[in-house]
Structure 1
Amino acid sequence: MLKLFKLFNNKRLFILLITLVLFIVVMGFSLGTRKGLSWPENFVRDTTGFVQNLFYKPAGYVAGLFQDISHLDELSEENEQLKIMMAQYTRNMAQYNFIKAQNEQYQKDLHFTKEQEELYNYEYHIANVVSVTTEPSNHTLVIDLGSRNGIKVNMAVTSVKGLVGVISQVSQFTSTVKLMTMMDDNDPNSQPPIAATALNKEGKSFGMIESYDQETGMLMMNKIPVGDPIVKGDTVISSGIGGLYPRGMIIGTVEDVKVGEFGLTSTAIVKPSAEFQDWKDLFVVFTAADAEESAGK
């Protein structure tokens, strides 16, 4: 019995020693430098990688989908902001262009009034067009100046380019302008004729702007005496004779000069300088007497 017990103890000791030796060998083998993995390690690693790959890719796709959706919301918001900014930019540019054009027009107006004032000492009151009537028998327009501004009937009205017409009716706040296109020497109710001369030929040239040809758009300067030096290309201006129209108002340019039927007078075909459309700023001409009377009110 004692021998068996000893033998059993020796076997346990032997197994323990064998296990310890194997453990040391395995540890040494695991910790040592190796060029490759063992087949169990390869099997475990490949299996684990395959399973992880099955779950990782779909999870990555789902996460990427939610991330893209989040980015779409951000892009949509940015797009809306850009649209608003573009609309604001367009509006600001339109306002800038309008103000710029208005400023340039005022610069032209200021230059015109200074130039004319130095030449003939007139006073110009700027007016805006309220309405336009284009009926053939009543070609008139309404401006936003009236009697409270010192406006009176028969005052001359001009644009930067040339004479437009005369004041025909006046109310407290507005006035009606009868245009030169209404001039007709056979109609006593039309705009009064204009005593005219040629620029730089004052005192040598004379005629009367009496009518407007509706078909050709030309003014007729009649009663030009024989030997008058007026020729094609001359600038026609008001002479100031008669007192109705201030002198020096630009009327138009001579297109042609034709001798009358009996050779006693000539007629000049004059192209108006003013454009009777697309109205912008107009000026009511105040002579020195008109200006003093208006200031005294």
Structure 2
Amino acid sequence: MSKLLKNKLSRRIILLAAVLIVLFGFTVYKDQKTLIESGAGTALNPVQSVLYTVNKRMESFIDFFLRYEEVKEENESLLLENIELKANLRNYEALKTENERLREMFNFKNRADQYDYVGVNVIGRSGGGIITSYIIDRGEEDGLLSGMVIMTEEGIVGQITETAKTWSLVETLSSENIAIHVKSTDDASISGILEGHIGSGQTQMAKISFLPIDSSIKEGDTIVTSGLGRFYPPDFLVGTVVRVEEDKGNLMKTAIVETAVDFKRAAQLFVVKPKSMGDVEY
């Protein structure tokens, strides 16, 4: 019985192979065809097409299983390569950000090369929702003194108000203990003393008080340091005027300023140190 089945299977395979050979070798393209040849070719072409498609799919299916391990290794290799490329991209973005930050500081330094800039890190904050002060990781051992200015690449932060051997306390422009002389870049005649101010909704602001009632200061004006007293380098960004309030009774105006630096996000700061300490009395 087993032999009979094997013989039948063998005959079927041989027959199927013979049919395939005949069908694949049947179509021969000539310059001219008889009506009968053309009709036979037309009748058999759909069958050939189906068999050819099935054959190709079987080849692809078998090839996939034969190359399975190879494809698996290639996929694993590509996955690792993709992970490495993503890591390199993150490193590139971090280096790009660092270079941009250093470029900004280099531009600051070119504008006021009579100062040195010492990098410090924030190790503590106070003020709750309103950041009014930081603790930084350098102090008297590094030559820092109370009164020295603190900034980031974005602009002025505030100044040192207390020092110890290895740390210092920095009060931000939002603190009412800080007062600096500033000016407007839009009108050189506009200048005044900027102090800390808590806006509505506990927002961090600053204000320029006691401006003349006829002052041309307006919303959108850019406020920078004036450089008077040499505590603060001149022309460093402080912020932007967001509102002007009039006190007609006292014939004065007050400009509310949004600071350029986001005190909640600042992490690395710079201490501004005059190269000639004799010019400034801290």
Q: TM-score per shorter chain, which class?
A: 0.5 to 0.7
Matched, 1:205 2:204: no
* TM-score, scaled relative to structure 1: 0.62
1:213–1:220: 8 Å Cα contact kept in structure 2? no
2:150–2:272: 8 Å Cα contact kept in structure 1? yes
Cα displacement (A) at 1:153: 1.6
- 1:210/1:48 CA distance change after superposition, 3 Å: closer
1:123–1:287: 8 Å Cα contact kept in structure 2? yes
Matches within 5 A, 1:208-219: 208-215=193-200, 216-219=203-206
Gaps of 5+ in 2: 1-6, 18-60
Cα displacement (A) at 1:273: 2.1
- 1:226/1:67 CA distance change after superposition, 3 Å: closer
Q: Distance in 2 between matches of 1:280 and 1:138?
A: 12
Q: Which of 254, 263, 275 is matched with 2:262 structurally?
A: 275
Matches within 5 A, 1:91-170: 91-117=87-113, 121-133=114-126, 135-136=128-129, 139-170=132-163
Q: Distance in 1 between matches of 2:253 and 2:8?
A: 115
Q: Which of 63, 69, 77 is matched with 1:73 structurally?
A: 69
- 1:262/1:288 CA distance change after superposition, 3 Å: farther
Which residue number corresponds to residue 193 of structure 1?
179
Calculate the aligned-residue CA RMSD, in Å: 3.8
Gaps of 5+ in 1: 1-46, 58-64, 184-190
Q: Decide which structure has the larger Cα Rg and report it.
A: 1
Q: Which of 141, 166, 173 is matched with 1:180 structurally?
A: 173
Secondary structure of the structure 2 residue equivalent to 1:263? coil
Cα displacement (A) at 1:76: 2.4
Q: Distance in 2 between matches of 1:205 and 1:249?
A: 16
- 1:77/1:229 CA distance change after superposition, 3 Å: closer
Q: Distance in 2 between matches of 1:116 and 1:145?
A: 23
Q: Distance in 2 between matches of 1:206 and 1:70?
A: 81
Secondary structure of the structure 1 residue equivalent to 2:67? helix
- 1:142/1:95 CA distance change after superposition, 3 Å: same
Secondary structure of the structure 2 residue equivalent to 1:182? coil
Question: Would you say how many aligned residue pairs link Structure 1 and Structure 2?
Answer: 229
Q: Distance in 2 between matches of 1:53 and 1:197?
A: 97
Letter aligned with residue 244 of structure 2: V
Letter aligned with residue 184 of structure 2: A
Q: Distance in 2 between matches of 1:263 and 1:68?
A: 88
Q: Distance in 1 between matches of 2:278 and 2:77?
A: 56
Which residue number corresponds to residue 30 of structure 1?
none
2:208–2:256: 8 Å Cα contact kept in structure 1? yes
Cα displacement (A) at 1:248: 3.8
Matched, 1:287 2:274: yes
Q: Distance in 2 between matches of 1:88 and 1:243?
A: 50
Matched, 1:257 2:244: yes
Q: Percent identity?
A: 25
Which residue number corresponds to residue 50 of structure 1?
10
- 1:244/1:292 CA distance change after superposition, 3 Å: closer
- 1:272/1:49 CA distance change after superposition, 3 Å: closer
Which residue number corresponds to residue 224 of structure 1?
211
- 1:165/1:152 CA distance change after superposition, 3 Å: same
Cα displacement (A) at 1:122: 2.8
Q: Distance in 2 between matches of 1:243 and 1:292?
A: 8
Matched, 1:82 2:78: yes
Cα displacement (A) at 1:291: 9.0
Cα displacement (A) at 1:125: 2.3
Q: Distance in 2 between matches of 1:92 and 1:86?
A: 10
Cα displacement (A) at 1:222: 0.9
1:165–1:177: 8 Å Cα contact kept in structure 2? yes
Which residue number corresponds to residue 27 of structure 2?
none
